[in-house]
Amino acid sequence: MKVKTEIYIINMLIINCLILSCKQHKMGNKIEADAVIEQKIDSLLSLMTLEEKIGQMTQVRHFDDISEGDIAAKFIGSVIHTQGPLPGESALDWQEKFSALQKQALSTRLGIPLLFGVDAVHGQNTYEGATLFPHNIGLGASRNADLVAKVAAITAIEAQATGFNWVFSPCIAIPYNEKWGRVYEAFSESTELTTQLARASIKGHQGNLLENHTVMATAKHFIGDGATDFGVEGGNTSLSMAHVHKRLLPPYRAAVEEGVGAIMASFNTLEGTSMHAHRPLITDTLKGAMQFDGIMVSDWKGYSRFGEADIINAGIDMVMAVDGDLEDYQEGLKKAVTEGVVAPGRIDDAVSRILRQKFRLGLFDNPFPDQGLVAKIGSPEHREVARQAVRESLVLLKNEANILPLSKDLSKILVVGEFGHNSGLQSGGWTIDWQGRKENYTGATTVLEGIQKLSKGEVIYDKDGTGDYEDADVAIVVVGETPYAEFFGDIGGEMDAYQHTLTETHQKYIDTYVTRGIKVVVVLISGRPLVTTRQIEQSNAFVAAWLPGSEGDGIAQVLFGEDDFKGKLPHSWPASEQDYAGKYGPNFWDKSITPLFPFGYGLSYQ
Ligand code: BGC
């Protein structure tokens, strides 16, 4: 009875506050609107038990981590979808699955809605049929902040259409060592460019959070993820604090200024201290000096991997309690609070931050996804923006005797290599599956298809470079890195599956056609600059295409001159394997290395 009366009072308070907050929005008085949210948070917090608070601080997957009834029984605060069983077949099925979980959350005593998070890092890439954009490295090459904002806004729509209100994007790392397997998730090696595009991306994702087609964004991974020694994912970063402040923090400052809802802690250590447990940087710098008032979320199994209660004391507000961590986390944190290891005030701060974002997103009033958005998934308008992003991301490194643009009237064009007609290979990791796809997927187009669409002559596909064609006008040889994500892509790392250079097979494709005296245009599909000095010398033209995503035909549009090359290198391009890991380029200090092409290089037709 007591609780029911309290709920009535809080509901009335919320309604009154909402009326007030609408008026305040109209008056454009953000500070007062924020004050209303703070009142709501305090009221709600005063009613919550410790179990309910710890529940809010818990994030789980929609499968395996939870059984029937757990959302309500464990007061879960957030659900994520990453690799693993799909929530359903169609987008509507996904929405239904998440709505069912939302109903469970709403059925609890206080009815606090769930946040649904997804790794939508280049479009809603967990849903086959969504519009997939170039990975961030390609957007970094475009240097087009307006375009980055549009890309993020579309990602938000397609993420909402599949049931999510939160994305784990953008990655605003500054990769120092291109051996790192996540270079492509970041925009650039330049702090300035990353800062500018981080701002645009957060604006694009979050827009007006109360609208049902925007999502909460996450800046990740805080901090030093791209600057580990030898480029090891989750390794140690040996950088001075002064360097961290000067080179790595500016994009986070911009993200906070844009009101980013969440920041994710990084797997790496910094000078030996785990970033999940780094109180000076998380609590003092980010939340204190920079006034970040959103959610500091852990990364995968952060609690068991990085110091249990220590990470909460350092300032982590929500824990990805996945893969068997749920029980230990909830029990462990409760014990830590009971025994005085974690102060109740820390728990209240964490929960306030989570509730704040739920209020900002309007989830208490509008907790369910909008079915009307489903029709927008992979729509022609969205794909046209993705195609523009592909065109603007391409960097022309060589164009001997103006072999490009190609004439549409050429009588015979060869397209060589399996990357020429495989949308999975051209899209990199985080494409439908965590480690990406190696085959074509729904709705995407390839380089070959783009060339077939535009050429008026004969187009021949020599998939494995074994065709005995002696007399073509040009061979467009498409080569690159097979998809990878996270530590799988580290060069010389745990998996050791990748290298600085092209594979022998891909080298052979180029050699074959160069030897036959056919003009060769190389299109390189890769998540980072590779050492391609020899191939650049051999070929007549060379294009760095990064990981374009679903609209591969955009590449053909530029090859045929329907648009100019606008991309500029987001990373300095190494001349040899020795420089690969070198600290050179705009952020670095090794002036003894001269890259093959400097940061910002890129030719055009004019
Ligand atoms: C990655 C994050 C990602 C998370 C959830 C982690 O392994 O480091 O970038 O957001 O998984 O899938």
What separation in Å is there between the alpha carbon of 320 and the centre of ligand 1? 9
- pLDDT at site 577: 83
What separation in Å is there between the alpha carbon of 524 and the centre of ligand 1? 27
Ligand 1 pocket test: pick from 79, 119, 222 the residue with the most ligand atoms within 8 Å of its Cβ: 119
- pLDDT at site 33: 76
What separation in Å is there between the alpha carbon of 283 and the centre of ligand 1? 22
Residue positions annotated with a catalytic role: 299, 486
Ligand 1 pocket test: pick from 59, 82, 267, 432 the residue with the most ligand atoms within 8 Å of its Cβ: 82
Q: Which of 69, 58, 98 lies closest to 81, judged by CA? A: 98
Residue found by looking up tokens 């309690």 in the block: 321
Residue 119 beta carbon below 6 angstroms from any ligand 1 atom: yes
**Identity (one letter) of the amino acid at 24?**
Q
What separation in Å is there between the alpha carbon of 229 and the centre of ligand 1? 20
Contact between 207 and 153 (Cβ < 8 Å): yes
Residue 487 beta carbon below 6 angstroms from any ligand 1 atom: no
User: Exposure pattern of 349-377 as b/e (b: 16+ CB <10 Å)?
Assistant: ebbbbbbbbbbbbbbbeebbbeeebbebb
Residue 299 beta carbon below 6 angstroms from any ligand 1 atom: yes
A 10 A CB-CB count for 438 gives 13
End-to-end CA distance of the chain: 76
What separation in Å is there between the alpha carbon of 56 and the centre of ligand 1? 20
Atom from ligand 1 closest to the CA of residue 267: 8
Element (H, E) at 79: strand 78-81
Provide the pairing of β-strand 236-237 with 269-270: parallel
What distance in Å separates the CA atoms of residue 369 and residue 372, rounded to the nearest whole number? Answer: 9
What string of H, E and C letters represents the secondary structure of 502-570? CCHHHHHHHHHHHHCCCCEEEEEECCCCCCCHHHHHHCCEEEECCCCCCECHHHHHHHCCCCCCCCCCC
The full set of domains in the chain, from first to last, is 48-61+70-120+164-364 (3.20.20.300), 380-580 (3.40.50.1700)
| HSE value, Cβ hemisphere, 13 Å, CA-based, for 404 | 32
Atom from ligand 1 closest to the CA of residue 220: 9
- pLDDT at site 31: 67
Can you read off the two tokens belonging to residue 84? 């693993």
What distance in Å separates the CA atoms of residue 246 and residue 174, rounded to the nearest whole number? Answer: 12
Atom from ligand 1 closest to the CA of residue 320: 5
- pLDDT at site 244: 95
Nearest CA to ligand 1 atom 7: 300
- Give mean pLDDT in consecutive 10-residue pieces for the chain, a chain of 606 residues: 41 44 46 88 98 98 96 98 94 98 98 98 98 99 98 98 98 94 97 98 96 96 94 92 94 98 98 96 98 98 97 98 97 98 98 98 97 98 98 99 98 98 98 98 98 98 96 98 97 88 97 98 98 97 99 98 98 86 62 88 97
Residue 488 beta carbon below 6 angstroms from any ligand 1 atom: no
Residue 317 beta carbon below 6 angstroms from any ligand 1 atom: no
Q: What are the strands, taking DSSP E only, across 400-544?
A: 412-416, 458-462, 474-480, 520-525, 541-544
Residue 220 beta carbon below 6 angstroms from any ligand 1 atom: yes
